[in-house]
């Protein structure tokens, strides 16, 4: 019948659109994507109560990676909602779902919403001046990827800002539990501005291309009432308090426009 | 008291968030920004009826450019809403308003929403692979700016897609009416995919850097039920039918990822 892909925006249960809420309330099954972009504090029970629906199912890592078979099967002859934090098509995982639904000739309706990709405008930097977005992953053991450094550098050289999305680890298994096939998950981890900047400063030490000089913005809980935005040089920003997740980071172009400077002053440490 | 800056998203009156609607309904004055990013068919009367409020005032070019004095004055001791199509901080005009409110110590609350900057993900191109966004202005008389061509070229060379925002002319005065101080406005004009591509092909003829070779996407009425997305080579795309405004354009990087190719097939002319 129809698969609704509905963005929940950035903040809380009130960020769904009026149209999205209507679709939720008329659907037979409602799934909450709880794998790539969880919002701390926003669980399926809270949402169900706020939306006035009986039950919201969790689309966890297993369901999503196994292709959401059950969900697609149900969407063939019923209205099914897939709720995604942010915008439903901003993450690759979900564009894939869109494709598979279409291949089965299930109509898909997308309800867009705010995502960090546009709400980052809150820090006052001009959106059109952002270059390629990078993801900074948690380093672990011998695995210390740093290609994101080169991309930030490329943006900087082109006079562009860089939005850095920080790693989220949800429903990860320890190697031991994975080997033994035990579905025991580690507690979720969310990279902080501090951790991202520490990694940045380490790469800077090795590469010395000047990515960590100049202004950066740290953003926490963007779009929520308790959002925190701070601007400053990397070393100072690493010491700033941001509170709970989610955090993001912006590395600025070397020069700021006049209006951007005005904003930066408001957020300066 | 408080200035709410509320994003209306892309589509129709149902795209406001639940939280945004609540703010609208409790506000003493509601202004609709009707200057930079009007949605055809979405007028203040339709919105007022949908939101269940008595009156929505128009924040037109004059009001916005004169600094929204009246609005700020009222926000000092009342709740005032400023409604903006898309996300409220995506356009420079509104970041400026945010600043001026803060300078007067008026608390500002921003309710983000979808904008073309993230909803462009609908065409299946990965958002993080977009480089700098460009605006393509209507050429007129001797004024034929083409710096956007060089920016698209730069993005292409870096393996990035380019979102092209197409010009909107709302409440423009003819030179004669302007000189005579007559507040008579020309009918609004919205650049079409066709017009943008015609300008692109003209610059291509002169510069011959290959920006117009390869795949492009035309997007119309993004996020609405009747949205149209088409992909194809520039010459073919220029001939495609897109219907009414608003239109946008994406010039793709030379190579598409596998998933992006799959999507492009769905939209191929």
Supply the ipTM of this predicted assembly: 0.91
Q: Do A90 and B130 touch (CB under 8 A)?
A: no
Position A152 pLDDT exceeds 90: yes
Q: Which helix (H) or strand (E) holds B75?
A: helix B69-75
Q: Do A259 and B92 touch (CB under 8 A)?
A: yes
pLDDT digits (tens, 9 = 90+) for B44-63: 999 999 999 999 998 877 78
Q: Do B117 and A127 touch (CB under 8 A)?
A: yes
Domain boundary among the residues B95, B114, B133 is at: B114
Domain boundary among the residues B94, B114, B134 is at: B114
pLDDT digits (tens, 9 = 90+) for B122-175: 999 999 999 999 999 999 888 999 999 999 999 999 999 999 999 988 777 888
Position B37 pLDDT exceeds 70: no
Please tell me whether residues B156 and B29 are part of one structural domain.
Answer: no
Predicted local confidence at residue B155, as pLDDT: 95
CB < 8 Å to A165, chain B: 128
Q: Does B2 touch chain A (CB under 8 A)?
A: no
pLDDT digits (tens, 9 = 90+) for A5-26: 999 999 789 999 999 999 999 9
Please tell me whether residues B132 and B263 are part of one structural domain.
Answer: yes
Q: State the total domains in chain B.
A: 2
A90, A124, A131: residue with CB nearest B131: A131
Please tell me whether residues A125 and A191 are part of one structural domain.
Answer: yes
Return mean pLDDT, chain B. Answer: 92
Predicted local confidence at residue A59, as pLDDT: 87
Predicted local confidence at residue B160, as pLDDT: 95
Separation CA B269–CA B267 (nearest Å)? 6
* Residue pointed to by tokens 């943006």: A155
Strand B189-190 versus strand A79-84 pairing type: unpaired
- Inter-residue contact B160 to B51 (CB < 8 Å): no
Long-range Cβ contact pairs of B235-242 (< 8 A, separation 24 or more) = B235/B201, B236/B269, B237/B193, B237/B197, B237/B269, B238/B193, B238/B194, B238/B197, B238/B198, B238/B201, B239/B194, B240/B193, B240/B269, B242/B192, B242/B193, B242/B194, B242/B218
Closest CA to B264 of B238, B244, B237: B237
B10, B16, B98: residue with CB nearest A112: B10
Look up residue B165 and give its DSSP letter. E
Q: Which of A85-99, A224-238, B183-197 has the lowest mean pLDDT?
A: A85-99
Q: Do B112 and A117 touch (CB under 8 A)?
A: no
Separation CA B53–CA B46 (nearest Å)? 10
Q: Do B126 and A15 touch (CB under 8 A)?
A: no
CB < 8 Å to B87, chain A: 114, 118-119, 121
Q: Which domain does A189 fall in, by range? A: 117-267
CA atoms within 13 A on the CB side of B182: 8
Per-window interface: A 164-223 vs B, CB < 8 A: 165, 223
| Domain CATH number, residue A109 | 3.40.1010.10
Binding residue positions of B for S-adenosyl-L-methionine? 10, 87, 115-116, 166, 222, 247
- Inter-residue contact A156 to A211 (CB < 8 Å): yes
pLDDT digits (tens, 9 = 90+) for A60-103: 777 877 778 899 999 999 999 999 999 999 877 788 889 999 99
Choose between B92 and A129: higher pLDDT.
Answer: A129
Q: Which helix (H) or strand (E) holds B232?
A: strand B228-233
Helix, coil or strand: residue B163: strand
CB < 8 Å to A14, chain B: 17-19, 22
Closest CA to A200 of A233, A227, A245: A233
Predicted local confidence at residue B165, as pLDDT: 95
Confidence of residue B222 (pLDDT cuts 50, 70, 90): very high
Confidence of residue A38 (pLDDT cuts 50, 70, 90): low
Please tell me whether residues B234 and B122 are part of one structural domain.
Answer: yes
Please tell me whether residues A132 and A213 are part of one structural domain.
Answer: yes
Mean pLDDT, to the nearest integer, of B222-230?
A: 93
Phi, psi of A259 (to 5 degrees): -65, -35
| Domain CATH number, residue B171 | 3.30.950.10
Per-window interface: A 25-54 vs B, CB < 8 A: none
Domain boundary among the residues B63, B85, B114 is at: B114
Mean pLDDT, to the nearest integer, of B95-114?
A: 92
- How distant, in Å, are the alpha carbons of A24, A48, B183 from that of A30? 7, 9, 52
Position A121 pLDDT exceeds 90: yes
Strand B215-220 versus strand B247-251 pairing type: antiparallel
Please tell me whether residues A169 and A87 are part of one structural domain.
Answer: no
Q: Do A99 and B126 touch (CB under 8 A)?
A: no
Please tell me whether residues A195 and A212 are part of one structural domain.
Answer: yes
For chain A, state the CA radius of gyration.
20
My answer on whether omega of the bond before B246 falls inside 30° of 0, hence cis, is yes
Return mean pLDDT, chain A. Answer: 92
Please tell me whether residues B65 and B127 are part of one structural domain.
Answer: no
Please tell me whether residues B159 and B234 are part of one structural domain.
Answer: yes
Choose between A242 and B67: higher pLDDT.
Answer: A242
- Inter-residue contact B34 to B85 (CB < 8 Å): no
Q: CA of A165, closest CA in chain B: separation in Å?
A: 10
Q: Which of A25-39, A131-145, A189-203, B74-88 has the lowest mean pLDDT?
A: A25-39
Helix, coil or strand: residue B85: coil
Contacts of A221 (CB under 8 A, 6+ apart): A227, A228, A243, A244, A245, A246
Please tell me whether residues A135 and A228 are part of one structural domain.
Answer: yes
CB < 8 Å to A113, chain B: 9, 17, 113-114
pLDDT digits (tens, 9 = 90+) for A158-204: 999 999 999 988 777 888 888 888 888 888 899 999 999 999 999 99
- Inter-residue contact B83 to B24 (CB < 8 Å): yes
Query: Minimal Cα distance from B117: which residue of A?
Result: A118
Per-window interface: B 69-88 vs A, CB < 8 A: 87
Please tell me whether residues B99 and B226 are part of one structural domain.
Answer: no
- Please measure the distance between the N-terminal and C-terminal CA atoms of chain B and give it in whole angstroms: 52
Query: Minimal Cα distance from A160: which residue of B?
Result: B132
Confidence of residue B19 (pLDDT cuts 50, 70, 90): very high
- How distant, in Å, are the alpha carbons of A119, B148, B150, B231 from that of B215? 29, 17, 17, 7
Q: Which helix (H) or strand (E) holds B84?
A: strand B79-84
Contacts of B136 (CB under 8 A, 6+ apart): B148, B164, B165, B166, B167, B191, B196, B199, B200, B249
Q: Residue A262's Cα: distance from chain center in Å? A: 27
Chains A, B: CB contacts within 8 A come to 160
- Inter-residue contact B8 to B38 (CB < 8 Å): no
A22-36, A228-242, B42-56: range with highest mean pLDDT: A228-242
CA atoms within 13 A on the CB side of A149: 21
Q: Which helix (H) or strand (E) holds B219?
A: strand B215-220
Per-window interface: B 229-258 vs A, CB < 8 A: none
Q: CA of B95, closest CA in chain A: separation in Å?
A: 7
Separation CA B222–CA A186 (nearest Å)? 40
Predicted local confidence at residue A107, as pLDDT: 95
Q: Which of A57-61, A253-257, B97-101, B161-165 has the lowest mean pLDDT?
A: A57-61
Whole-number percent of chain B with pLDDT over 70: 99
B10, B18, B99: residue with CB nearest A18: B18
Tokens of A200: 């940045």
- How distant, in Å, are the alpha carbons of B33, B190, B243 from that of B247? 19, 8, 9
Q: Do A121 and B90 touch (CB under 8 A)?
A: yes
Separation CA A269–CA A232 (nearest Å)? 6
Q: CA of B129, closest CA in chain A: separation in Å?
A: 6
- Counting every residue written for chain B, the total comes to 269
> What is the dihedral sign for C-alpha B86, B89, B91, B93?
positive
- Inter-residue contact A26 to A19 (CB < 8 Å): no
Please tell me whether residues B42 and B83 are part of one structural domain.
Answer: yes
CB < 8 Å to A128, chain B: 132-135
Query: Minimal Cα distance from B109: which residue of A?
Result: A225
Was A97 annotated as part of a binding site? no
């Amino acid at each position: 019948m129809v698969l609704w892909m509905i963005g929940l925006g950035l903040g809380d249960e009130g960020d769904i659109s009026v149209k999205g809420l209507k679709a939720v309330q008329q659907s037979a099954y409602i799934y909450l994507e709880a794998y790539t972009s969880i919002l701390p504090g926003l669980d399926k029970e809270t949402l169900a109560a706020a939306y006035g629906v009986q039950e919201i199912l969790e689309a966890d890592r297993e369901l999503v990676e196994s292709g959401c078979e059950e969900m697609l099967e149900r969407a063939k002859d019923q209205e099914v909602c897939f709720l995604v934090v942010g915008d439903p098509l901003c993450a690759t995982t979900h564009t894939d779902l869109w494709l598979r639904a279409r291949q089965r000739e299930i109509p898909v309706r997308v309800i867009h919403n705010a995502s960090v990709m546009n709400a980052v405008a809150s820090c006052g930097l001009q959106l059109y001046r952002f270059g390629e977005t990078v993801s900074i992953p948690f380093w672990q053991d011998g695995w210390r990827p740093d290609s994101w450094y080169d991309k930030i550098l490329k943006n900087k050289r082109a006079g562009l800002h860089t939005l850095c999305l920080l790693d989220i680890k949800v429903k990860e298994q320890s190697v031991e539990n994975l080997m033994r096939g035990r579905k025991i998950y580690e507690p979720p981890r969310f990279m902080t501005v501090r951790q991202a900047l520490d990694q940045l400063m380490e790469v800077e030490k090795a590469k010395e291309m000047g990515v960590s000089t100049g202004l950066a913005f740290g953003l926490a809980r963007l779009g929520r009432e308790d959002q925190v935005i701070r601007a400053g040089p990397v070393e100072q920003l690493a010491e700033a308090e941001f509170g709970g997740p989610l955090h993001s980071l912006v590395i600025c172009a070397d020069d700021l426009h006049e209006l951007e400077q005005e904003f930066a002053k408001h957020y300066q440490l």
